[in-house]
Amino acid sequence: MFAIDGNRLNRRLAEFAEIGALPKGGVNRQALTEGDRQARRMLAGLALARGFRVFQDPMANLFIRRSGRDETLAPLMIGSHLDSQPAGGRYDGALGTLSAFEVLESLEDAGTQTDRPVEVVAWTNEEGCRFAPGCMGSMAFAAGAIPEEWADKQAADGASFPQELAATIESLPEAEMRPLGFPVYSYIEIHIEQGPSLEAENIPIGVVTGIQGTRWLEVTVTGQTAHAGTTGLSYRRDPMRALSAALSGLYDTIMPEDENARFTVGRLRLSPGSVNAIPEDIRCTVDIRHPDPDSLDALEAKITAAFSKEAGRQGCTAAIRRLFDMAPCTFDAGLQDRIEEAASSLQMPSKRMLSGAFHDALFANRIAPAAMIFVPCRDGLSHNEAEFVEPAHATAGCRVMMQAVRTLTASENV
């Protein structure tokens, strides 16, 4: 029997949730902050205590390696991320990272020998809310280089990406430095579904077939600031009126007309921001998702047209630029089969499903066969302090991962 310790896993989840803890049970552990560094140090500490080797690369991706029979073989990689949303949940990322570490510890506890090394990874900045885009760590790993333009990235709080990255790497001196990118045998990531379907259908395991495409747009509507009390309608060029009309129309059509489409405005600022002055300009983000690349193009065109039209009607101008563009991906069919077989060998119901969120597995999939295991979360809530995973579901996902890892590494107890 290939056991994992579910109590240890759930205890670890609670311990890591104390780093950046928020009053309602969530965490604020945004990428490259002190909280993020603290979580990386805690995981590295646990790993070194078990005699595993700890590495980090120039993107501060964190690796924990357990040797295999043949050290020259490319490692099987398992993991996720440790950073969070500003008001995020305690399972998003942490569940996959700590489940992977639980697998490594259980292999060690059982004295199991794997044919190849197994490595746990915690990717840097999956969330992308402090420094956009998301998945910077796995993206750079898959590309084998850090894009030059990232050197200019600044957080809303004014922090500089290169400085925060360097400080994060320096905060873990016990990790051996390693170049960016290396051969990987296969990659498996456990993650909460972040949607309602597994819970609704009472299925503990989701075998993820792929990830829908994501595009982030930045919309700027520019009008003319003027006095709120004296400026009559014919003299107004109000960007807020244009924005409201455009958004209202888009909310009423995009998602109601296509159940696979997602349309979200999550960030908005207007200036000068005075109660008695018409705004001069407004800037907001638009997050659109779709499993079909052509539909993503159609959505972007529809959004651009709506803002141009409503801005024109109010004597304003609209400018739209892409912040981020992630094409849909399809995971490795063989790995999907291994995960499904692992679940059924443990008498766990599973179902194949598409991921609505992007994940680091999308980028790992570019350099190695990759796949994901989803577990249910309460009410489908994520990016929310109320995010919750039943301990039994966390344990179940980890057991399936262990089973798949044993199969993929021809493991034997020696």
Near a second copy in 334-393, by CB under 8 A: 355-358, 379-384
Question: Site for a second copy (CB under 8 A): how many residues?
Answer: 73
Task: Please identify, among the stretches 4-12, 82-90, 142-150, 342-350, the one whose residues bind a second copy according to the rule CB under 8 A.
Answer: 82-90
CB atoms within 10 A of CB 65: 21
**Distance (Å, rounded) from C-alpha 383 to C-alpha 89?**
6
Asked if 5 interacts with a second copy (CB under 8 A), we say no
Residues whose CB is less than 8 angstroms from the CB of residue 120 and which lie 6 or more positions away in sequence, other chains included: 47, 63, 64, 77, 78, 79, 97, 100, 101, 103, 104
**Distance (Å, rounded) from C-alpha 323 to C-alpha 200?**
34
Site for a second copy in 199-218 (CB under 8 A): 212, 214, 216
Asked if 196 interacts with a second copy (CB under 8 A), we say yes
CB of 40 to a second copy, least distance (A): 21
Strand partners, 326: 214
CB of 402 to a second copy, least distance (A): 26
Element spanning 45, H or E: helix 34-49
Asked if 296 interacts with a second copy (CB under 8 A), we say no
Asked if 198 interacts with a second copy (CB under 8 A), we say no
- Token digits of residue 409: 């590494």
User: What is the Cα 357 distance to its own chain's centre?
Assistant: 7
CB atoms within 10 A of CB 282: 22
Q: How many Cα atoms are found within 13 Å in the side-chain-facing hemisphere of 246?
A: 30
If the CB atoms of residues 190 and 247 are measured against a second copy, the closer one turns out to be: 247
Asked if 73 interacts with a second copy (CB under 8 A), we say no
Site for a second copy in 119-178 (CB under 8 A): 127-129, 132, 134, 156
Length of the chain: 414
Asked if 237 interacts with a second copy (CB under 8 A), we say no
CB of 349 to a second copy, least distance (A): 20
Task: Please identify, among the stretches 139-147, 237-245, 336-344, 399-407, the one whose residues bind a second copy according to the rule CB under 8 A.
Answer: 237-245
Asked if 328 interacts with a second copy (CB under 8 A), we say no
If the CB atoms of residues 29 and 383 are measured against a second copy, the closer one turns out to be: 383
User: Which value, in Å, is the radius of gyration of the alpha carbons in the chain?
Assistant: 23
If the CB atoms of residues 68 and 223 are measured against a second copy, the closer one turns out to be: 223
Task: Please identify, among the stretches 10-18, 105-113, 144-152, 244-252, the one whose residues bind a second copy according to the rule CB under 8 A.
Answer: 244-252
Asked if 233 interacts with a second copy (CB under 8 A), we say yes
Q: Which of 216, 213, 265, 271 is nearest to 240 (CA)?
A: 271
Q: Which of 41, 24, 135 is nearest to 86 (CA)?
A: 24
